[in-house]
């Protein structure tokens, strides 16, 4: 049962059908009232149909309407227990300490909401795939490349061969040589980055396991991905997609890294000690 179905609704709004958007909007704005309504009443309140409400439940990964009511009820109870982190716009006159407070709140929100939309089964599958892989190929462009570079650094330290190139043409030529024993990871916040999708498509055609790290909701990258790891989207007009989304992506990378490290614990401890020793003389 999703622990925050309202987060899923907010994150997936753009990918819903028009009727589903009406239902989601009504529930988000009236959660306490919605959890008390029958399916027919919700359909009437949202100006849709019973069939649309049932279909919406399936879209959210729920078994039926009763599961939807329970999930909404859980959200409302959690809201009563704690103060919610609300996004605040940064004002041009804000002093540094206020900017820091608001930026911290946004980063925390990105991490918390990513926990809600990231499926643990998919995360486990991704960890297993990386654990078994001979090589890891990372495709990303723009701000997501920083996240890809972080992944390369982490996995290289525990002796997992990782290839990450900034040049798109080299990403393409590298993907051509992947096999079913390899893993290709594509990082795209929007899920619509053509360069990343092109690389994953080639990797999939080569029978490599393809993993997408992208924001929650339907997007083209899912069509070329065997495993999809969702992140939350908490950006606003003032901030670029390189901020809160980066924190969410790094959370996924760290979870993958630690998950694989746990499976290779004895070897990982040895590799980390070796790399630590090799770098010791480089510190002043």
Please name which of 144, 126, 123, 109 lies closest in space to residue 10, comparing C-alpha atoms: 109
Q: In degrees rounded to 5, what are phi and psi of residue 185?
A: -110, 125
* Three-state secondary structure string covering 92-142: CCCCHHHHHHHHHHHHHHHHHHHHHHCCHHHHHHHHHHHHHCCCEEEEECC
Please name which of 185, 176, 127, 128 lies closest in space to residue 152, comparing C-alpha atoms: 185
Q: Percent of the chain scored above 70 by pLDDT?
A: 89
Going by pLDDT thresholds of 50, 70 and 90, the confidence category of residue 101 is: confident
Going by pLDDT thresholds of 50, 70 and 90, the confidence category of residue 241 is: very low
Going by pLDDT thresholds of 50, 70 and 90, the confidence category of residue 4 is: confident
The domain covering 117-280 belongs, at the CATH homologous superfamily level, to Glucose-6-phosphate isomerase like protein; domain 1 (3.40.50.10490)
Please name which of 271, 247, 266 lies closest in space to residue 156, comparing C-alpha atoms: 271
Q: In the predicted model, is pLDDT for residue 77 greater than 60?
A: yes
Please give the average per-residue pLDDT across 71-95, as a whole number.
Answer: 63
pTM over 0.85: no
pLDDT reported for residue 84: 44
Classify 214 as helix, strand or coil: strand
pLDDT reported for residue 260: 95
Q: What b/e readout covers 145-156, taking b as 16+ CB neighbours within 10 angstroms?
A: bebbebbbebbe
Going by pLDDT thresholds of 50, 70 and 90, the confidence category of residue 55 is: very high
User: Structural domain boundaries of the chain?
Assistant: 5-81, 117-280
Supply the CATH classification number for the domain 5-81: 1.10.10.10
State how far the Cα of 251 lies from the Cα of 55, in Å rounded to an integer: 31
């Amino acid at each position: 049962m999703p622990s925050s179905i309202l987060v899923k609704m907010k994150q997936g709004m753009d990918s819903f059908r028009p009727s589903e958007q009406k239902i989601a909007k009504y529930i988000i704005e009236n959660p306490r009232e919605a959890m008390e309504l029958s399916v027919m009443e919700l359909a009437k309140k949202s100006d849709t149909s019973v069939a649309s409400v049932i279909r919406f439940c399936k879209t959210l990964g729920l078994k039926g309407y009763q599961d939807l009511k329970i999930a909404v009820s859980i959200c409302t109870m959690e809201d009563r227990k704690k103060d919610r982190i609300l996004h605040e716009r940064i004002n041009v006159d804000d002093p540094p300490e206020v900017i820091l407070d608001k930026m911290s709140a946004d980063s925390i929100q990105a991490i918390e909401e990513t926990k809600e939309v990231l499926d643990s089964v998919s995360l486990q599958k991704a960890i297993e795939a990386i654990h078994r892989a001979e090589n890891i190929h990372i495709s990303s462009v723009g701000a997501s490349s920083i996240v890809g570079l972080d992944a390369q650094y982490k996995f290289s330290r525990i002796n997992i061969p990782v290839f990450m190139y900034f040049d798109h043409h080299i990403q393409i030529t590298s993907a051509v040589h992947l096999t079913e024993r390899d893993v290709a990871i594509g990082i795209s916040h929007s899920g619509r980055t053509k360069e990343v999708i092109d690389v994953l498509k080639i990797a999939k055609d080569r029978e490599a396991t393809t993993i997408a790290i992208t924001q929650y909701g339907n997007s083209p990258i899912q069509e070329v991905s065997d495993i999809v790891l969702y992140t939350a989207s908490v950006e606003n007009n003032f901030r670029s997609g390189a901020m809160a989304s980066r924190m969410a992506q790094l959370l996924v990378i760290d979870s993958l890294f630690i998950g694989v490290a746990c499976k290779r614990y004895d070897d990982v401890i040895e590799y980390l000690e070796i790399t630590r020793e090799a770098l010791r003389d480089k510190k002043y």
